Structure 1
Amino acid sequence: MKSHETYEPRIPRRSARHAVRGVDYQVNEWGDQGLPLLVILHGFNDTGASFQFFVDALVKNWFVIAPDWRGFGESRFRAQSYWFPDYIADLDVLLDLYSPRDPVRLVGHSMGANVAGLYAGIMPERVAAFVNIEGFGLPESDPDNAPAHYRRWIEKSREMQPFSTYQDFAQLAQRIRKRNPRMDADKALFVATLWAAEEDDGTVALRTDPSHRLPNPVQYRRAEATACWAKITAPVLVVKGAESNFFAAATDHAGPNEIDALAAAESVEIPGAGHMVHFEQPVALAAAVEQFLS
């Protein structure tokens, strides 16, 4: 790929910096601040800026913000390992900055949808609507596995393993397309330049903090997540990629009441999309989100 083959954004993106609970945060912004606010929360090892294709596909005029979670994209690293509830508290600070009085529309993908789902139940008065894109939680953990789980975390912490490096952005773009085969080549190269930075030797390295490779020392507690979801009062749209197995996997490890709750929400399946719906079918995703929010 050549540099001129990269995607050209339709709506320019701005970068804002905010101090959020001791971390220097990058928040990606599009549109006039006087427009209706739409908050996008990215998934693991992604960045807020990669929702550019989705933003460009929106028909209505919005003020869109998409933070890079701590340790991802261009937000700063932490000195120690990451704790999942930090994302929830970070989100609360960001919403106070951008919408201190009015409840907000949250659009979360994968990990970002899990953060948004917890927040929407913990602070229901702060959420006007919630779009859950492929974020259905993890299987309930077995407490008997805790000793081995903690041991694995300790052992992995002793020597941090870096992410793989790439010859250039084109090589990373090829890897992105391999995982997202319905993604356009120019979009893959665009995302590669967001996910990674060029090193002094000309190679390309992911911006993500290597500490994110560590397993979470605390096992997932699905029952606690379910209790939070039950407190959501905002309307919810569940978005599934037709080629993704995430929802099918969720039904395998969820209880009947959880599936009933998901079924009660409005849902849409996007044809020709895997897990990264905003990469492969941004136009269809934008249409579904705007129809729901209208």
Structure 2
Amino acid sequence: MQQNSFETFYQINELTIACQRLQNNATKVIALHGWQDNSNSFVPLMSQLSHFDWYAIDFPGHGKSDWRNSQAHYYFIDYVDDVFRLKQQIAANEQVIIIGHSMGAMVANLFAACFPEHVKAVIAIEGIACVTTDENEVTTQLKNAILNRTDNKPKRVFSSFEQIVKARIAVSDLNKHQASLLMERNVEKIETGYKLCTDPKLKHHSGFRFTPNQCIEMCKNIITPMLVIKATNGYSLVNQGIEIYGKYILKLMVNEISGGHHCHIEFPNEAAKLINVYVNEMF
């Protein structure tokens, strides 16, 4: 990170939201990470694009941000509310660029559909539209979510930070350095070892998802320019989403870079070059 980077905190809906800032007199960028990641996901990209005015947040339940209260759950649509409240504090009367990865990209899509007047552009990395459930599976989705919530497993304690990193590598496309970057913000040192500071409820099934037709209507309402960056070895769901929903997004551009689902961490130079060209040509 650059010398003018620092950490700050915002109060949103009675939650403290952690935010990594890279301050410049330039276009404001709000960065939204993926599920179970955190704002460190954007550190390599922020270093490459240090001329932007960055606000890289930890979503509630992730990183250094507060967890939602004991009666609350992590609904996808609530993240849109979190972004709206944050933007009201940092740039109420100014359009911003939203860069999102994976789940964060989907949040950015829905935010832009709801509040196009607040968004200059969306840059969606390995994410488009949203995860859907067919209409005939709505009750099954809710039933499974409710049953899943009764599973209160004790929080695992790891003997070392390296053990946590290995566990993350085993379920991702990241190498040791990249996984360490993410996990150093998602763990807490305790007397008996290390534990994850992400809320265990993040792993609960969602009780509600949009139907495919609802997702199409959302995409029709995205009138701001959007760049989707997909990876050569990324998730197949991204290609499927582009094929199914991309035709409904008015000003969509799609580009591909090297890497897997976390391509912006693996190849930040490639991602930054695309973003720079896109922003300069668009604005």
Contact 1:161 1:213 in 2 (8 A): no
Which residue in 2 is equivalent to 1:283? 269
Which residue in 1 is equivalent to 2:143? 151
Distance 1:223 1:182 in 2: 34
Query: Normalising by the residue count of structure 1, what TM-score does the alignment of the two structures yield?
Result: 0.85
Q: State the one-letter code of the partner of 2:238.
A: F
Distance 1:137 1:260 in 2: 11
Which residue in 1 is equivalent to 2:253? 266
Query: Normalising by the residue count of structure 2, what TM-score does the alignment of the two structures yield?
Result: 0.88
Q: State the one-letter code of the partner of 1:214.
A: H
Q: State the one-letter code of the partner of 2:106.
A: N
1:249-290, CA deviations, whole angstroms, 9 ceiling, x for partnerless residues?
A: 4357x3xxx24246962121012x111112211111111111
3-state secondary structure, aligned to 2:149: helix
Which residue in 2 is equivalent to 1:246? 237
1:54 is displaced (CA, Å) by: 0.9
Distance 1:75 1:288 in 2: 30
2:97 corresponds to 1:102: no
Contact 1:71 1:209 in 2 (8 A): yes
2:17 corresponds to 1:25: yes
3-state secondary structure, aligned to 2:215: helix
Contact 1:53 1:279 in 2 (8 A): yes
Which residue in 2 is equivalent to 1:234? 224
Q: State the one-letter code of the partner of 1:287.
A: K
Q: State the one-letter code of the partner of 2:189.
A: E
3-state secondary structure, aligned to 1:208: coil
Contact 2:178 2:266 in 1 (8 A): no
1:49-73, CA deviations, whole angstroms, 9 ceiling, x for partnerless residues?
A: 3311111122x51210111111111
Which residue in 2 is equivalent to 1:36? 27
Structure 1: gaps spanning 5 or more residues? 1-8
Structure 1 pair 182/195, CA: closer, same or farther in 2 (3 Å)? closer
2:122 corresponds to 1:130: yes
1:110 is displaced (CA, Å) by: 0.8
Distance 1:102 1:248 in 2: 32
Between the two proteins, what is the percent identity of the paired residues?
22
- Of residues 198, 206, 230 in structure 2, which corresponds to 1:216? 206
1:178 is displaced (CA, Å) by: 4.2
1:75 is displaced (CA, Å) by: 0.9
Structure 1 pair 232/138, CA: closer, same or farther in 2 (3 Å)? closer
1:146 is displaced (CA, Å) by: 3.0
1:209 is displaced (CA, Å) by: 0.6
Contact 1:241 1:270 in 2 (8 A): yes
Distance 1:28 1:241 in 2: 25
3-state secondary structure, aligned to 1:106: strand
